[in-house]
């Protein structure tokens, strides 16, 4: 196996040890902890009073718009990374190209700003 794949296999081992550690401690915990469920104990916590309505209440659409903006910017950040490593070779040409790219990116942000999307309320 190549070094490249081995490095990624190490990541799998790291995930496995995290699960193993958590499983071990939860297992020990399961042996020593008490377990006395009562109906009152198992209702959702709402500062002591009985919960009103459903726990899965509706939430606002603004979260969705921020998520959308995030996807746009994050994908564009992906394009900047390879350019950043090779800037020395591209020199002036790369600089102008990325200047245009970042300008368009900023334009998108300014557009969202002017549309009032970035205002939380």
Whole-number Å distance between alpha carbons of 67 and 117: 12
Asked if 5 interacts with another protein (CB under 8 A), we say no
Can you tell me which of 35, 49, 50, 114 binds another protein, judged by CB under 8 A? 35
Asked if 7 interacts with another protein (CB under 8 A), we say yes
| HEC secondary structure over 61-105 | CHHHHHHHHHHHHHHHHHHHHHHHHCHHHHHHHHHHHHHHHHHHH
Least distance to another protein from the beta carbon of 7, Å?
4
Can you tell me which of 2, 6, 50, 116 binds another protein, judged by CB under 8 A? 6
Whole-number Å distance between alpha carbons of 84 and 102: 13
Nearest one of 66, 69, 100, 60 to 83, comparing CA atoms: 100
Least distance to another protein from the beta carbon of 56, Å?
6
Least distance to another protein from the beta carbon of 65, Å?
10
Asked if 116 interacts with another protein (CB under 8 A), we say no
Instruction: Give me the helices (H) in 33-61, please.
Output: none
Whole-number Å distance between alpha carbons of 39 and 44: 11
Asked if 44 interacts with another protein (CB under 8 A), we say yes
**Positions 58 through 97 that interact with another protein (CB under 8 A):** 59, 63, 66-67, 69-70, 73-74, 77, 80-81, 84-88, 91-92, 94-95
């Amino acid at each position: 196996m190549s070094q490249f794949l081995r490095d990624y296999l190490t990541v799998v081992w790291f995930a496995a040890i995290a699960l193993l550690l958590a499983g071990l401690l939860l297992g020990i915990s399961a042996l020593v902890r008490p377990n006395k469920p009562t109906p009152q104990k198992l209702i959702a916590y709402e500062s002591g009073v009985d919960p009103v309505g459903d726990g899965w209440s509706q939430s606002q659409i603004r979260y969705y718009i921020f998520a959308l903006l995030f996807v746009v910017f994050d994908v564009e950040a992906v394009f900047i990374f390879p350019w950043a490593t090779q800037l020395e070779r591209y020199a002036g040409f790369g600089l102008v190209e990325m200047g245009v790219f970042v300008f368009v990116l900023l334009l998108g942000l300014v557009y969202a700003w002017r549309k009032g999307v970035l205002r939380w309320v």
